[in-house]
Amino acid sequence: DSGVTQTPKHLITATGQRVTLRCSPRSGDLSVYWYQQSLDQGLQFLIQYYNGEERAKGNILERFSAQQFPDLHSELNLSSLELGDSALYFCASSPRPRGRGSGAKSPLHFGNGTRLTVT
Amino acid sequence: GEDVEQSLFLSVREGDSSVINCTYTDSSSTYLYWYKQEPGAGLQLLTYIFSNMDMKQDQRLTVLLNKKDKHLSLRIADTQTGDSAIYFCAETAVRRGGSQGNLIFGKGTKLSVKP
């Protein structure tokens, strides 16, 4: 058990709808990362938060947004859903922002993911 | 190349050694990682290696790093059926667009272990 909790485990919804995925990081971790895993694209970094503030953005669509709350949990909001948004969405956490000079060895610990199916 | 590359499939017999190879992109990556994903589960960190090391051994796992060729490998000794999973190589993404330390993953190597 990585200590990162994601809910729900599975989500089935229709095109055009909006969903919210939730992540609780490991105790003490301040950084949260969101990744999307699909068969054709592999694991794609979406966005990172550190202590409530956005730190980095990856391949995140404008229809998607995220936030990190004062209690450090994070939510990923996906709107105007399309069939192609069906994927596994992973949250990961680490103690601090990772970079060359600041604890780059601090690995990411992943949750078990939310499987989103858009029909 | 722009991507972290791995072969997609590897099949071995139980008891044999498995070697999973990876080519990464950024010679300035400080740490390189191996993650394991079992069916229906998240990614589990297996091991990582600091870029000034050539080799790291951890029980049945051996990581070899060739910085000149940007080549990373994971050797699993005495492979068991429970090792069947997808193995991901990952590098830090510091050089890409200034993002601070998220990981760039390969597409994963699916290891099948036959009894």
For chain B, which residues score pLDDT lower than 50? 97-100
Q: What are the percentages of helix, strand and coil residues in chain A, rounded to 5?
A: 5, 50, 45
pLDDT of residue A98: 53
pLDDT of residue B2: 61
Of B30, B31, B100, the CB nearest to A56: B100
pLDDT at A11 over 50: yes
When scoring B32, B102, B104, B107 by the number of chain A Cβ atoms within 10 A, the one with the most, hence best to mutate, is: B102
A102: confidence class by pLDDT, cuts 50, 70, 90: very low
Residue B94, CB-side half-sphere exposure with 13 Å CA sphere: 17
- What value does the CA radius of gyration of chain A take, rounded to a whole number of Å? 14
Mean pLDDT of chain A: 90
Which CA distances in Å does A41 have to A30, A33, A45, B98?
28, 18, 11, 22
Q: What's the confidence (pLDDT) of residue A97?
A: 59
* pLDDT tens-digit map of A53-70: 999 898 899 999 999 999
Instruction: Give the residue numbers in B contacting A (CB under 8 Å), as ranges.
Output: 28, 30-31, 33, 35, 40-45, 48, 50, 88, 92-94, 98-108
**What's the average model confidence in pLDDT over A43-52?**
92
